[in-house]
Amino acid sequence: MKRKRIGASSLEASPIGLGHSMGFDDFSNAGLSEFKDLVSLALDLGMNFFDSSDAYWNGLHEEWLRIALNGSRHKAIVASKFGNITLADGSKATNAKPAYVQACCEASLKRLGQDCIDLYYLHRVDPQTPIEDTVGAMSRLVEQGKVRYLGICEAGIDTLKRAHRVHPITALQAEYSLWYRDTERDMIQTCRELNIGFVGYSPLGRGLLTGNIQSYEDLHVKDRRRIHPRFQGSNLENNLALVKQMQPIADRLEITLAQLAIAWVVAQGQDIWAITGTQRIKYLEQSISAAQLVLSHDDLQALEHIFSPQARAGDRYPREMLSGLGI
């Protein structure tokens, strides 16, 4: 698999990376064994980009990544994050105070079993802490040799520029898919101007673009997507009608809808990466294959016409969650 340099860094990453699955719930030894097999296969197939966070599985994702990469750490680019907190009542909060930055990094290094994290993101911008203070603290991690490069997630353009002035930002991570293309308007262009790589998570629109969801009832009663407007009522009906229009293209290319969606994201530029959250061998193989597909100009235009920004229905998150993004 061809690799691409992330921003102005020396990191050469596969065009698709492996993140975590929100729906995964088997934290037994059997689940760990499957995870190890998944990471091993990813490396064998040329994927070297692994995306984690201290928020994923309450830190267990970092621990499992350490175990899975045992003996193969030198083959991988490992990214992790801090600052996205779940409170005792289940609500979300942020903390990006300088002292917390240092503490989080130390804890992640221990869970990952590493001396240095390749790419360390601020997971969510803390509106109570100036970004200059946060990135200043993150830059000291670079000076200490505990982090190689810095990233930031779901930041607004002004915040990204302010952060970049304090210390070079290597990557911005935000949601990006055929269904959610808002970042195209200004954010990706800003990243290009600043030579910052753009890493898109949820390239399948939280599963919407797979064709596997046909109704609200297909979502488990505890599935968080049930509170997302894009998966509710007439919004879901509208969005599924868009997905249906993808099918003739996928059929002609003899690929799945999910592969078509991933191939579109990767095709958006040499400075664009996709993060998949699958925990299944079958879907990992398909995702890696999709990242190597070359879509024709006509197919790209057809997909972009189907998913024009005004065509989708419903916000990606509830209004209260959206207020914490793009700060």
Residue 310, in any domain of the structure: no
Q: Is residue 232 part of a domain?
A: no
| Predicted TM-score of the model (pTM) | 0.96
Q: Which domain holds residue 192?
A: 4-207+257-295
CB atoms within 10 A of CB 42: 25
**Domain containing residue 126: CATH number:** 3.20.20.100
Q: Give pLDDT tens digits for 244-253.
A: 999 999 999 9
Q: Is 22 left (phi over 0), alpha (psi -120 to 50) or beta?
A: alpha
The count of domains in the chain is 1
For residue 306, being part of any structural domain is answered with: no
Asked if residue 248 belongs to a domain, the reply is no
Catalytic residue among 56, 121, 201, 317: 56
Q: How far is CA 178 from the centre of its chain?
A: 14
Position 6 confidence tier, pLDDT thresholds 50, 70, 90: very high
* Residue 113 within any structural domain of the chain: yes
72-118 tens-digit pLDDT: 999 999 999 999 998 888 788 999 999 999 999 999 999 999 999 99
**280 within a domain of the structure (yes/no):** yes
DSSP run (H or E) holding 143: helix 131-143
Tell me which long-range contacts 231-239 makes (C-beta under 8 A, separation of at least 24): 231/206, 231/314, 232/314, 234/313, 235/313, 235/314, 236/313, 236/314, 238/312, 238/313, 238/314, 239/179, 239/208, 239/312, 239/313, 239/314
Answer whether residue 238 is part of any domain: no
* Active site annotation includes 100: no
